[in-house]
Each structure stands twice: as structure tokens, then as C-alpha cells.
Amino acid sequence: MSDYKELLEKAGEFHGDICGGIVMGTKLAIHGMENMGMTPGEKDKRLIVFTEIDRCISDAILSVTRTSMGKKSLKPMGYGKSAATFVNIETGEAIRVIDKKVNKDYPEEPVEERIERIAKTPGEELFDIQKVKVKIDPNDLQGKPLEVAECVECGEEVLDGKHHLRGGHAYCTSCYDKSYYEIIG
């Protein structure tokens, strides 16, 4: 099921609309999966994808690769880059797919025209591929948590080895370092 327009439509439905990021993210995901010998649009239990940006591209990648955070097959990295790494956990093979930024030559292009242009453009012209090595912690794989710790400060449970040790005691990230929230009541 690697029909670009069909996968684009599904990604757009998931995201809520078809914008430039969905157009490129769909093509990026198709290119990455095909280069890994996998079928775009079909779930593949061997696949883990690391997305480097928390924008529209990642929604398209999630939709096309059928990965998910809940199944621990989608890993958002938040680097702010239009790139994703595709890892075959059975073989260890990994590639990083990077947007060549060819769209900067079309700053005012309507989405409909971009869809048509990208549909006709081979992935090799849109993306660079780097062979990479990715070390995946066993705690980051599917299945029951391998490690569970209780934070000595807040008492909350921390799964999957995400706790920090200080003085032989386990702490959650919020208590150990910093938190995105502040308790006010």
C-alpha cells in the first residue's frame, strides 16, 4: 500500500488537514520504509522510528509507518530538525532520512501544487539518507516494564528505567532535575 496520495489522505485525516508538513512527512516516511525493505502503510513490528521534530511531519510519519508512542515504536526526540531515523530492531540496520529542503525554492506554492510536485518527485531528490547506528535500551522496547522505581521525593512510580539515582535513591526526572510543571495547590 505505498500509493502516495492514498497515504497522504490518511495522514491528513489523522492530522486534521493536509499542509506542507504532512505532504513532506508522508513522502519522507514512504522513502524511509521503502529503503528499509518495509511496506509503507503497513504496521511492521520490527520498526522503531525516531522523529526529530514535534511538528506536522511527525504526524505524517506516525500515520504512514503505523508506529505509536503507546507501542514504544515511535520515539519523539524534539531536536527541531526535519529528519527521522528508521530502525529494524531485528537486524540493527538503521537509516536517518533528512529533508533536503527543496521546498525553500517554492515558498508561495499552494498545497495542491506541492502535493502534485512531491508525488512526481523521487524520494532521492527530496531526502538524503545516512546509515546510522542506534543503541536501543531494552527498556525502550515493547512489553511489560523491565524496571519500575518509586521516587523517594514525590512517591510517584517511574517506569522503564527513566529514574535517576542519587545517593542510592531513585528520583523521577521532575524531582531530580527540573519539571515542565510547577505544583501550585
Question: CB within 8 A of 101, min separation 6: which ones?
Answer: 82
Q: What is the mean pLDDT of residues 36-59?
A: 96
H/E element, 99: strand 94-99
Report the distance separating Cα 140 and Cα 73, nearest Å.
9
Which candidate, 140, 127, 137, places its Cα nearest to that of 81? 127
Radius of gyration over every alpha carbon of the chain, rounded to an integer in angstroms? 19
pLDDT of residue 182: 85
pLDDT over 50 (residue 22): yes
Q: What is the mean pLDDT of residues 29-36?
A: 97
Residue 166, number of CB atoms within 10 A of its CB: 11
Half-sphere exposure of 69 (CA within 13 A, CB side): 6
- Cell numbers 503507546 correspond to what residue? 70
pLDDT of residue 183: 82
Q: What is the mean pLDDT of residues 146-152?
A: 94
C-alpha cell at 26: 508522508
Q: What is the mean pLDDT of residues 104-115?
A: 84
pLDDT of residue 2: 59
pLDDT of residue 178: 84
pLDDT over 60 (residue 124): yes
pLDDT over 50 (residue 164): yes
pLDDT of residue 170: 96
pLDDT in tens, 129-139: 999 999 999 99
pLDDT in tens, 3-17: 999 999 999 999 999
**Average pLDDT in the chain:** 93
pLDDT over 90 (residue 109): no
Burial class of residue 2, CB neighbours in 10 A (0-12, 13-18, 19+): middle
pLDDT over 90 (residue 1): no
Q: What is the mean pLDDT of residues 54-62?
A: 95
Supply the DSSP symbol for 24: H
Report the distance separating Cα 167 and Cα 156, nearest Å.
18
Span 4-131: which CATH code?
Answer: 3.30.1330.130
Instruction: Calculate the CA 124 to chain-centre distance.
Output: 20
